[in-house]
Structure 1
Amino acid sequence: MQRLCFLLAIGLLSVVPSVVRAADETKPNVIFIYVDDLGYGDLGSFGQKKIATPKLDQMADDGIKLTSFYAGCTVCRPSRLVLWTGRSLGHQPINDNKPYTMKSTDHTIAQLMKDQGYTTGGVGKWAMGTPGSGGEPIYHGFDFWCGYLDQGNAHNYYPPHIWRCEGDKVEKLPLEGNVLIDDNPHARGRVSKPDARKTYSYDVMTQEAFDFVRRNADKPFLLHLHWTIPHANNEGGRVTGDGQEVPDYGQYADKDWPNPEKGFAAMITRMDGDVGKLRDLLKELKIEDNTLLIFTSDNGPHSEGGHKHGFFDSNGPLRGFKRTVYEGGIRVPFIAVWPGKIPAGTESGITFNAYDVMATYADLTNAKQVPLNDGLSFLPTLLDQQQKVVVGNRKPDPKSRISYSSFAKMEAARMGKFKAVRLSPDKPIELYNLQEDIGETTDIAADHPTIVQMMGDFMKEAKEPLQ
């Protein structure tokens, strides 16, 4: 423990925002895209060979890739809770997909931005509270939200309705032509047959997002696009359709692939095209140069709905996938672009996490009152600026910090090149050198007992109350 404290005193230091902004400078817009179950290897710019993602690849060429960015969790709901609150899984009430309703004490990044004068909006999967629960997004910092409030309902691309939340209203937005199997409220919006599937919910939510941008182009705004692509269409363990629902297979229709793989690829390419349309919209409205656009995923790739993550090498060189704490389950692609601010064609391997987003938003806006969080701003890294380190404060220098993740009884921690994994409390800690072994194939714990002890101590401290 003494060695750990010494290392923390030396390495885990506070970073003073190095971006000095004039008081009268226009506040930049922020658009944050958090897609669902997209793996580290699912984009061309991260090594994908079969699925076409030209718009996101161009975004990477125009901006920066973070190659060691970690999602909030290896499954959806806690991953979003980590993102919203800026607190790691050691400081969350859940670390798996059990139901959770956002509490009034859960201060969100949307509330932070609203306090800085931003209009806040979002589309897609919220997963933090059903209608009437008090957990709806309009009670937690969002002026507007359109999409799925419930986790389970979000796994259907052709529901009879989604939810539109604005002001103090939470209302159903009917989707024309989509038909319920029956009136059972527990049917989760399942439709009866393919010809009853008329309106693709993803397209509706995308249009709502674009409309939000148009409505608010003359003032600072925050927009979160929590697209459900490419999550499988599995409702309560039942798979409908081919498990990867999309209106058509597009350029993959004639491929000699199983239908679920055609659907998976078509979903990603469809989403990629809409990223391109979003960037075109920002140019049309002449706000591209004043908008920070970020793209990432909520966890690693799935093997569900007939899709197998290995078919497209969705986890790339990484071990594991969704529901594991090996790299493939938690390390995700990350791309950011901001013309004139983020140098084009750059890349960083510094470790950052979804719980760093709150600190980054606070840095970007010079927020003075920030909820207690585990984060570290990655804004200086995006802008290729030197971070100033002040000895003696709590928060770490990005090159020496230890990051934390967990799922159910599994835990993981990373410090620099070392990654520790513990599959359950009664299992020994595994240790990997990611610099030499990105696939986590060789456990080197026996060769580094001091590092193993330090990582074990950190896993305990990561769950202590945040102060």
Structure 2
Amino acid sequence: MRHLLAVLSVALLGLGLGVYFAPNVVAGEPIGPGTKPNIIVVYADDISARELPIYGSSVWTRPGRVVDDHETSDPAFLAKTPVMDQMATEGVWIKNAWAATVCGPSRAMMMTGRYAHQHKWWHNKDKGKYVNAKGKKEIWPLYASSPLEMGTVAQQSGYATMWAGKTQMAGDIREFGFDEGLFTPGAGLDGYSPYTDFSILTKKVDGERILINQDTGKPGGLYQVSGYFWQPGATMMNHPDAPGEIVWWPYTEQQKAEYGLTTYAPDVELDYIFDFMERKTAENKPFFVYHTSHLGHAQFDWFHPESNIKYPGTPIIEWDGSRYTRTEPKITGDNGVYDTHGTVTEPGMHSHVEYLDYQMWLYREKLEELGIADNTIVIFTADNGTHGYGKSRWFRQVGPHVPFIIYAPGMTKQGEQDVLVNISDILPTIAELGGFEFPEGYEIDGTSLVPFLFTDQEAHRDWVYAWQREGQILRGELVLIDGAGDWYDVSQTPDDLDDFPKITDWSKVSEAHRAERDELLAILPRFDLHATERNAPNAQ
């Protein structure tokens, strides 16, 4: 088992080679109640469950421009994920796992284990306000609404904590319970990185604000943003190179000398994660890593500024049946004219998912190298459905349906699990694995997965919930109500994972369907507070 078994990632797992993993633990105590394993949560960006082959969808996302319809059944555009496939098979993968429908609220749910009726993050552009100590009304930060967040719970459980990647959090980034951080495109400092011009800025021209590609000085881009793939903007927090500080990265003179067009943010994130893992393992201290990759998210392609492509290419990787190799990128040019010399993949969602698979292989290798594979649990999932298909949509379950894979030695379950799981479940799972108990009266909407994963418990949840502004989405084993108020029969999974039959005549479904409908209708009012309690209690 020691060759791979401790890595799991819900949007990135699977090793394609049946001989590489073994399901038994040969060293140390199996992970489960009463142990304190290392924990790695990989949270991918805008990746629907249908993008991973293990889910068996008949359709997935094809490359194209932002305005295009991206659905295809062409196998050329289905990601190849040998590492994820096997990790899902040797570990577990959840058939119906839900996030929220868009990133901000989903990340709030991950951080807090709570839904919007508590933290008030209803949508990216619809976040509840509170009145701060200076009497100013601003976005209610999650650490104010929900002080026992993911990082804080892990810290109080005795873990060293690190956060790497996307943040998208309001407030002070130092207040989320993480000892260290490497943030792309940068968090904790004002403005954009001084080391890159891969940014889209707003500029006032003839009295109107327009978007400008900083690299070329010409109009371009869809929204104001700094780069988070190639030549990224980044900050680091409280690293030994700069203890107690948030600073722009690159920071050291060597880092600045090596930084350039071939610097790829997903690689930088993993470098810092592995450095953190090495140091904490040497200190014999359990660690918690929250890896919020941008892979899966659309981004302006500075190497092809006229393309309007959604998913810029990644470094080229190859799988030989047992290991990955990566081609070192060679990229030259400036001011919007670049040559990647055949060292960058074609754009596409499949390229992003495949690079995640490569990174999961790297996780596996690092865990084996450090000798901690038998005492590490990895969870992989994503924050919402794919852009152009599910993201920010409340119809059926296209918005919240995400991949979810878990691996840990000692689990009593293996392979596909036809149960319901919610992203809110991850926080109480971390708490139980770390021996943390929430104070009496502190409400958590999630349910720990530990009993399901490590005992003979057959079910996990009776229902899963998501939301978007005033819209609520709720499903059980048999029926689903979406944000439009339509009901669907979800007792059978369609080929595309989503095209469920609409229920228009309740007399034509079973009594069990009708009974579950009534149960779900009784649940909804508890969370339906957007119209009446949109803001924090002190700002209603």
Select which of 365, 387, 395 maps to 1:280: 365
The answer as to whether partners of 1:250 and 1:266 remain within 8 angstroms in 2 is: no
Structure 1: gaps spanning 5 or more residues: 1-18, 180-195, 254-258, 304-319, 388-396, 424-428
Amino acid in structure 2 at the alignment position of 1:301: T
Name the amino acid aligned to 2:525: K
CA distance in 1, matches of 2:377, 2:267: 23
Query: Residue 327 in 1 paired to residue 355 in 2?
Result: no
The alignment partner of 1:374 has SS state of coil
* 8 Å CA contact 1:69, 1:332 repeated in 2: yes
**Residue in 1 that maps onto 2:387:** 302
Q: Which amino acid aligns with 2:478?
A: K
Residue identity in the other structure for 2:176: H
Q: 2:438 aligns with which of 355, 358, 369?
A: 369
Q: Give a deviation string over 1:338-388, Cα, whole Å, max 9, x none.
A: 12x12474321211101111211122122123542111111222224338x
Deviation at 1:302, TM superposition (A): 1.5
In structure 2, what is the Cα distance between the partners aligned to 1:441 and 1:399?
21
* Secondary structure in 2 matching 1:275: helix
**Cα distance, 1:265 vs structure 2:** 2.1
Q: Secondary structure at the match of 1:74?
A: coil
1:267 is aligned to: 352
Pick one of 16, 19, 41 that aligns with 1:32: 41
The superposition leaves residues 297-316 of structure 1 with CA deviations (integer Å, 9 ceiling, x where unpaired) of 1111113xxxxxxxxxxxxx
Change (3 A) 1:221 1:126: same
Contact 1:177 1:197 in 2 (8 A): no
Contact 1:355 1:374 in 2 (8 A): yes
Q: Is the 8 A contact 1:37 1:300 kept in 2?
A: yes
Q: Distance in 2 between matches of 1:157 and 1:20?
A: 36
Q: Deviations over 1:185-209 (max 9, x none)?
A: xxxxxxxxxxx73321121111111
Maintained 8 Å contact 2:32/2:454: no
- Shift of residue 46, structure 1, vs aligned partner: 1.9
Cα deviation for residue 269 of structure 1 reads 1.2
Q: Does 1:462 align with 2:462?
A: no
What value does the CA root-mean-square deviation take over the aligned residues? 3.2
CA pair 260-443 structure 1, distance change in 2 beyond 3 A: farther
CA distance in 2, matches of 1:97, 1:412: 17
2:402 aligned partner, one-letter code: V
1:31-69 deviations in Å (ceiling 9; x for gaps): 000000112121222227531111111211221111111
State how far apart, in whole Å, the 2-side matches of 1:51 and 1:113 are: 33
Do 1:178 and 1:197's aligned partners in 2 also have CA atoms closer than 8 Å? no
Q: Which residue of 84, 88, 91 corresponds with 1:63?
A: 91
* Residues 1:104 and 2:144 are matched in the alignment: yes
1:392 matched residue in structure 2: none
Residue 122 in structure 1 maps to residue 163 in structure 2:
yes
Residue 203 of structure 1 corresponds to 267
Match of 1:145 among 172, 181, 186: 181
Question: In the alignment, residue 502 of structure 2 is paired with which amino acid?
Answer: D
SS, match of residue 419 in structure 2: coil
Shift of 1:457: 3.8
**Structure 2 equivalent of residue 398 of structure 1:** 460
C-alpha displacement of 1:221: 0.7
C-alpha displacement at 1:285, in angstroms? 0.8
Percent identical pairs in the alignment equals 24
2:118 is aligned, of 72, 86, 91, to 91
SS in 1 for 2:398: helix
Which amino acid counterpart does residue 90 of structure 2 have in structure 1?
Answer: D
1:418 corresponds to: 479
Structure 1 length normalisation: TM-score? Answer: 0.74
Greater alpha carbon shift after TM alignment, 149-158 vs 278-287: 149-158
Verify the 8 A CA contact 1:120 1:143 in the aligned structure 2: yes
Cα distance, 1:226 vs structure 2: 0.5
Residue of structure 2 in register with 1:82 after alignment: 109
Q: Distance in 2 between matches of 1:78 and 1:441?
A: 25
In the alignment, the residues of structure 2 paired with residue 241 and residue 399 of structure 1 have an alpha-carbon distance, to the nearest angstrom, of 42
One-letter identity of the residue aligned with 2:408: W
The C-alpha deviation readout for 1:116-144, integer Å capped at 9, x for no partner, is 11101111111113xxx42x0x3221001
Higher helix share: 1
1:219 aligns with 2:285: yes
Contact 2:97 2:402 survives alignment (8 Å): yes
Structure 1 match to 2:249: 173
The answer on whether the counterparts of 1:121 and 1:223 sit within 8 Å (CA) in structure 2 is yes
Tell me which residue corresponds to 1:161: 233
The CA deviation at 1:445 is 4.5
Question: Any idea what SS the aligned residue of 2:51 has?
Answer: coil
Q: Distance in 2 between matches of 1:118 and 1:173?
A: 25
| Deviation at residue 220 of structure 1 after TM alignment | 0.7
Asked if the contact 1:178/1:198 (under 8 Å) is kept, the reply is no
| 3-state DSSP of counterpart to 1:265 | helix
Residues of 2 paired with 1:301 and 1:178: CA distance?
33
Q: Structure 2 vs 1, CA of residues 160 and 272 (structure 1 numbering), >3 Å: closer, same or farther?
A: closer
Aligned partners of 2:226 and 2:232 also within 8 Å:
no
Q: Deviations over 1:234-279 (max 9, x none)?
A: 49xx9877332234455699xxxxx996443222212211101101
- Residues in 1 aligned to 2:493 and 2:354: alpha-carbon distance in whole angstroms: 31
Write the distance in 1 (CA, Å) between the matches of 2:483 and 2:360.
37
2:377 is paired with a residue whose SS is strand
**Residue aligned with 2:121, SS:** coil
Aligned length: 384
Task: Give the stretch that moved more between structures: 110-119 or 40-49.
Answer: 40-49
Does 2:413 correspond to 1:350? no
* Residues 314 and 345 in structure 2, CA contact (< 8 A), matched pair in contact too: no
* 1:381 and 2:452 matched: yes
CA gap of 1:197–1:242, structure 2 versus 1, over 3 A, is farther
Residue of structure 2 equivalent to 1:192: none
1:357 and 1:63 map into 2 onto residues whose CA distance is 16
Q: Secondary structure at the match of 2:405?
A: strand
